[in-house]
Amino acid sequence: MNPELNVLVVCGGISSERAISLRSGRAVLEALREYGYHNARLFDLREDNMGEILSAHPDAVFLTLHGKGGEDGRIQGFLDLAGIPYTGSGVESSAVCMNKILTKQVLLSMGLPTARFTIIRKERMVKEGVATIARELIDSIGLPMVLKAPCEGSSIGVSIVKEERELSRAVVDIFSYDDRLLAEEFLSGTEITLPILGNEELMVLPDIEITSEREFYDYTAKYTQGMCHHIIPARISAENRERARTIGREAYLALRCRGLARIDFIVDERRGPMVIEINTLPGMTEMSLFPDSARAMGISFPELCHHILSLCME
């Protein structure tokens, strides 16, 4: 490690997850300083100051952005063109993982398990009416079903529909985020997440079971103290653990993730672990899932941040 390294922790951004990203950024900055990177600095990315990243001449950028613009390959492309190393996945992996539809299509093509789904384009709703779309979703997916805006995060634009009478409104609501809607079968089972570190050689960290005081792991559950609980290791069978770890590795490699990623699953009672999504820039506050899992295997938060930084310099 070179303590003189000029590390810029880039956080904030313009997505709906800006507030969370600022929290991650501050936590990572503190951790890097604690580890010994005394030149590490924070950079609050806004709409108009991207060029200032270049004038700061960083040796490396530690990304703690979430959502649009930060987790979807755009800032990664900018840094690639500028020749600045950055933590985490590259352009293509970030772009595909940000889009839950594309992610599922890659998973399916690799034979990896994910919830059954349908995609609806907004123009069809405009032409054929929301009642027709609702009917089709009931027939193809059934109730309960999960509707998602494909490119959001932090459970924004995710709704679980249980009753037919709620469906039309939920459909219209999703189209306020995106012109495509992802409808998935509802999986009941244990929700777990699996953090993975590495480039070619992977280190799979302990799985975490997530329980929520809310109806599901929604925005409030994610970011309010006491509204969700992390159980390490998850209360799943040894067989399901092994399967999740194998699926996790395969998904990480298939989607060409680098540095780190967190793979979310629901362990279905009958079918075992089903992938929900892949987070290429997972939350990095001290309370977040990734650092919690690392801690459970004896890796402190400063050590984790140092490790992630080292992986981007490889």
Of 207 and 264, nearer to Mg ion (C-beta) is 264
Q: How far is the CB of 82 from Mg ion (least distance, A)?
A: 30
Of 63 and 266, nearer to ligand ADP (C-beta) is 266
Residue nearest to ligand ADP (CB): 217
Q: Give the integer Cα–Cα distance in Å for 65 and 45.
A: 9
The only residue of 45, 84, 115, 236 in contact with ligand ADP, by rule CB under 6 A: 115
Span from 30-38, 150-158, 196-204, 238-246 in contact with ligand ADP (CB under 6 A): 150-158
Instruction: Write out the DSSP string of 221-255.
Output: HHHSTTSEEEESS-S--HHHHHHHHHHHHHHHHHT
Q: 3-state DSSP call for residue 50?
A: coil
The only residue of 24, 64, 94, 154 in contact with ligand ADP, by rule CB under 6 A: 154
Q: How far is the CB of 269 from ligand ADP (least distance, A)?
A: 13
Beta strand 60-63 pairing with 7-12: parallel
To the query of whether residue 17 is one of the catalytic residues in this protein, the response is yes
Query: Quick check: 264 binds ligand ADP (CB under 6 A)?
Result: yes
Query: Quick check: 152 binds Mg ion (CB under 5 A)?
Result: no
To the query of whether residue 277 is one of the catalytic residues in this protein, the response is yes
To the query of whether residue 179 is one of the catalytic residues in this protein, the response is no
Q: How far is the CB of 53 from ligand ADP (least distance, A)?
A: 26
User: Interaction with Mg ion in 246-285: which residues (CB under 5 A)?
Assistant: 264
To the query of whether residue 314 is one of the catalytic residues in this protein, the response is no
Backbone angles phi, psi at 152, to 5 degrees: -105, 180
Backbone angles phi, psi at 185, to 5 degrees: -65, 150
Q: Which of 37, 217, 223, 252 is catalytic?
A: 223
Contact between residue 258 and residue 109 where contact means Cβ atoms under 8 Å apart:
no
Q: Give the integer Cα–Cα distance in Å for 243 and 192.
A: 13
Query: Quick check: 93 binds ligand ADP (CB under 6 A)?
Result: no
* DSSP letter (8 states) at residue 281: S
Q: What does 219 bind: Mg ion, ligand ADP, none (CB cut-off 5 to 8 Å by kind)?
A: none
Long-range CB contacts for residues 25-29, cutoff 8 Å, separation at least 24: 25/64, 27/284, 27/285, 27/286, 27/301, 28/62, 28/64, 28/284, 28/305
156 burial type by CB count under 10 A (0-12 exposed, 13-18 middle, 19+ buried): middle
To the query of whether residue 139 is one of the catalytic residues in this protein, the response is no
User: Interaction with ligand ADP in 184-243: which residues (CB under 6 A)?
Assistant: 184, 186-187, 191, 216-217
Q: Give the integer Cα–Cα distance in Å for 310 and 306.
A: 6
To the query of whether residue 271 is one of the catalytic residues in this protein, the response is no
To the query of whether residue 262 is one of the catalytic residues in this protein, the response is yes
Please state, as a whole number, how many other Cβ atoms lie within 10 Å of the Cβ of residue 153.
27
Residues that bind Mg ion (CB under 5 A): 264
Active-site annotation, residues: 17, 154, 223, 262, 264, 277, 279, 283
Q: Which positions lie near ligand ADP, rule CB under 6 A?
A: 115, 146, 148, 152-155, 158, 184, 186-187, 191, 216-217, 264, 266, 276-277
